[in-house]
Amino acid sequence: MISKIVDYHSIGHLKYLVERARSVVITCHLSPDGDAIGSSLALCQLLRNLGKRADVVLPDQVPRQLTFITQEEVLPVTFSVNRIKAQSLINRASLIVCLDFNSLKRLDKLGPVVADARADKVVIDHHEDPDMEGLKVMISHPETSSTCELVYRVAMQAGWLRHLDRFVASCLYLGLMTDTGNFAYDNADNPEVFEIVAALMRHGIDRHELHKRAIDNYHVNALRLQGYAIHEKMRVDMERGAALITLDSAELERFDYQRGDTEALVNRPLSDPGIRWSTFMREDAEHIKVSMRAEGDFRVDEICARHFNGGGHVHAAGGEFYGTMAEAVAAYEAILATIPPLFPAAPSSENENKPTNIEDSKNNED
Ligand code: 5GP
Ligand code: MN
């Protein structure tokens, strides 16, 4: 039994807006992941199946591993590539549905375009602390594993499930699978997640193929880059249970970095039971992209919001740092220094087997 967690008023209002809309634009956050793309394409196709005119407008391009899903049915329009088309779709739209984000900052340069649009606006999202004004409907459920789970629930409560087809089911599964780390993270600790998966499977989705293409899909260069990052660039502070990996633009270039190549790298250090906080910093063209993951009581959403212009979930968050990599690392180290050690430092006579700490690896590098 899948519970009706979305309030009736929001569902009723959303249905009314959809029925009235002549044309719908669906958008999601910058650097779209499986959940952002999956939920956007799923809702777009679902609305088309309902007889609506609907399009997806993305702020920037889809990572290599996820392009396969866009080629099937719905071709999204990318604002950074085809600004005129994206702008004209937004001008024409009477309804804009924002998926998998809750602050216009997450749309980058598309943000002001959406803010200025005359269309009614709706958010369907699972991130904490929504920060958006002027919405007609806000469906915000941080307790859900993914926006795809929430879109399924919205479709169920709105009575749209009979329009769900194999493509829509595949897109929803994509987001459920990627945001839960293939159902390994604690955000999948809800039997209803698996009831939704069962319902999607009944539409004939190819679960294995989706996993192979979206998650277990790295070019050899990407595998070498990840090996290098873990072997040469992972600094750990076992006393505080923290790990940091940084990759600057020269290192990325050396391994012919393509978007998506470092996806999930930030999760790797948490394989060690002694690590509860993992950080990855990558030097992109305009900023340092910061990703954080945590386990147990440690939360990273607040750190990303306060220090790295970002946010996210308690155990998975990200942000951006405007400055050099050295400055970003200094900012990280300042935060690290405020975190009480998990274990008291070992007395010096027993130091032989002491795990590497940040200072040690820094010295090794010099
Ligand atoms: P990732 O580390 O995979 O990029 O993102 C992990 C989580 O943090 C995702 O839920 C994502 O939406 C959120 N996140 C990543 N980058 C940012 C950012 O720059 N700003 C905000 N607000 N959230 C982010
Ligand atoms: Mn998501």
Q: What is the pLDDT of residues 60-115, one digit of tens each?
A: 999 889 999 997 779 999 999 999 999 999 999 999 999 999 999 999 999 999 99
Whether 159 is covered by a domain: the verdict is yes
Number of the ligand 1 atom closest to the C-alpha atom of 103? 22
Q: At residue 310, what is the residue type?
A: G
33 and 58 fall within a common domain: yes
Whether 2 is covered by a domain: the verdict is no
Nearest Cα to Cα of residue 280 among 239, 252, 253, 254: 252
What is the Cα–Cα distance from 208 to 215, expressed in whole angstroms?
10
pLDDT by residue (tens digit) across 49-61? 999 999 999 999 9
123 and 234 fall within a common domain: no
Does pLDDT of 366 surpass 60? no
Whether 297 is covered by a domain: the verdict is yes
Q: How far is the CA of 36 from the centre of ligand 2 (A)?
A: 6
pLDDT by residue (tens digit) across 177-223? 999 999 999 999 999 999 999 999 999 999 999 999 999 999 999 99
Q: Which ligand is nearest to the CA of 302?
A: 1
Q: How far is the CA of 354 from the centre of ligand 2 (A)?
A: 38
22 and 51 fall within a common domain: yes
Number of the ligand 1 atom closest to the C-alpha atom of 292? 2
228 and 302 fall within a common domain: yes
In the chain, the number of structural domains is 2
Single residue among 193, 214, 235 that ends a domain in this structure: 214
pLDDT by residue (tens digit) across 249-267? 999 999 999 988 999 999 9
pTM score: 0.90
Number of the ligand 1 atom closest to the C-alpha atom of 266? 2
Which residues have CB under 6 Å of ligand 1?
29, 103, 106, 266, 291, 310-313, 316-320
What are the C-alpha distances in Å from 217 to residues 64, 121, 212, 213, 254?
10, 35, 6, 6, 20
Domain that holds residue 207: 8-214
202 and 121 fall within a common domain: yes
157 and 226 fall within a common domain: no
Testing ligand 1's pocket by substitution, the residue of 29, 65, 267, 322 carrying the most ligand atoms inside 8 A of its CB is 29
163 and 204 fall within a common domain: yes
Whether 366 is covered by a domain: the verdict is no
Does pLDDT of 356 surpass 60? no
Q: How far is the CA of 29 from the centre of ligand 1 (A)?
A: 9
